[in-house]
A and B are shown apart, each in its own frame.
Chain A
Amino acid sequence: MTALSTQPRRDGRLRSWSGRSVAGLILVLFVLFFVIPIIWLLFAVTKSSRALIVSNPFSIGSWTDFMANWNQLFGFQDGAVTLWIGNSALYTLGALAITLVVSIPAGYALALTEFRLRKALLVLTLVVMLIPSTALVLPVFLELNTVGLIGTPLSVILPMSFFPFGVYLTYIYFSTSIPRDLLAAARIDGCSEIEVFTRVALPLAAPIVALVAFFSFVQNWNNFFLPFVMLPSSDGYPIQVGLTSLLSSTPAFNPSSAGSDSVQLPTLALATIVSILPVLVVFLFSQRYLVAGMTAGGTKE
Chain B
Amino acid sequence: MTLAPASDELTAGATSRRRSARPEGRPPGRVPIGYVFVSLYTLLALAFGIIPALYAVVLAFTTTDGGFAGFDNFVKVVTDFRFLPAVLHVTLYLVIWLVMLVIFVVILALIVHAVKARWAGTTLRFVYYLPGALAGASSVLLWLFVLDPTASPVSGLLHLMGLNSFVQVIQPGNLPVIFAIIAFWTGAGGWIVIMYGALNNVSTEVIEAARIDGANAAQIAMRIQLPMLRKWIAYMGVMSLAAGTQLFVEPQLLSQASNAVVPNDYSLNQLAYQYAFQQNDFNGAAAISLILLVVALLLSWVFVTRGGLFEKE
A residues 82-133 in Cβ contact with B at 8 Å: 101-103, 105-106, 108-110, 112-119, 121-132
- Is B282 in contact with A142, judged by CB distance below 8 angstroms? yes
CB distance from B307 to the nearest CB of A (A): 12
- Is B24 in contact with A113, judged by CB distance below 8 angstroms? yes
- Is B131 in contact with A38, judged by CB distance below 8 angstroms? yes
- Is A122 in contact with B10, judged by CB distance below 8 angstroms? yes
- Is A112 in contact with B217, judged by CB distance below 8 angstroms? no
- Is B3 in contact with A165, judged by CB distance below 8 angstroms? yes
Task: Choose one: B45, B104, B133; the contact of A280 (CB below 8 Å).
Answer: B133
Q: Is B286 an interface residue (CB 8 A)?
A: yes
Q: Is A265 an interface residue (CB 8 A)?
A: yes
Q: A34 and B128 in contact (CB under 8 A), knowing A40-B145, A106-B38, A131-B242?
A: yes
Q: Which residue of B lies closest to A265 (CB)?
A: B151
- Is B13 in contact with A175, judged by CB distance below 8 angstroms? yes
B residues contacting the other copy or chain, number (CB 8 A): 120
| Binary B-proximity of A62-78 (CB < 8 A = 1, otherwise 0) | 00000000000000000
Q: In the complex, what distance in Å separates the CA atom of A269 from the CA atom of B56? A: 39
Q: Which residues of B contact A139 (CB under 8 A)?
A: 52-53, 55-56, 286, 289-290, 293
A residues contacting the other copy or chain, number (CB 8 A): 122
Q: A41 and B135 in contact (CB under 8 A), knowing A19-B217, A53-B151, A162-B44?
A: no
Q: In the complex, what distance in Å separates the CA atom of A158 from the CA atom of B143? A: 31
- Is B25 in contact with A112, judged by CB distance below 8 angstroms? yes
Q: Which residues of A contact B146 (CB under 8 A)?
A: 37, 40
Q: In the complex, what distance in Å separates the CA atom of A145 from the CA atom of B191? A: 37
Q: Which residues of A contact B190 (CB under 8 A)?
A: 294
Q: Is A229 an interface residue (CB 8 A)?
A: yes
B residues 230-257 in Cβ contact with A at 8 Å: 232, 239, 242-243, 245-246, 248-249, 252-253, 256-257
- Is B246 in contact with A269, judged by CB distance below 8 angstroms? no
- Is B34 in contact with A113, judged by CB distance below 8 angstroms? yes
Q: In the complex, what distance in Å separates the CA atom of A124 from the CA atom of B131? A: 31
Q: Is A44 an interface residue (CB 8 A)?
A: yes
Q: In the complex, what distance in Å separates the CA atom of A103 from the CA atom of B43? A: 12
Q: In the complex, what distance in Å separates the CA atom of A279 from the CA atom of B290? A: 32
Q: Is B14 an interface residue (CB 8 A)?
A: yes
Q: Which residues of A contact B223 (CB under 8 A)?
A: none
- Top 3 closest pairs, chain A to chain B, by CB: A113-B25, A295-B197, A109-B37
Q: What are 28 pairs between A and B in contact, CB < 8 Å?
A: A27-B124, A40-B145, A101-B40, A106-B37, A106-B38, A109-B34, A113-B37, A114-B25, A114-B32, A115-B34, A117-B38, A130-B2, A130-B5, A130-B242, A132-B242, A136-B52, A136-B53, A139-B55, A142-B52, A142-B59, A145-B282, A161-B44, A162-B44, A162-B45, A225-B246, A240-B136, A250-B257, A256-B259
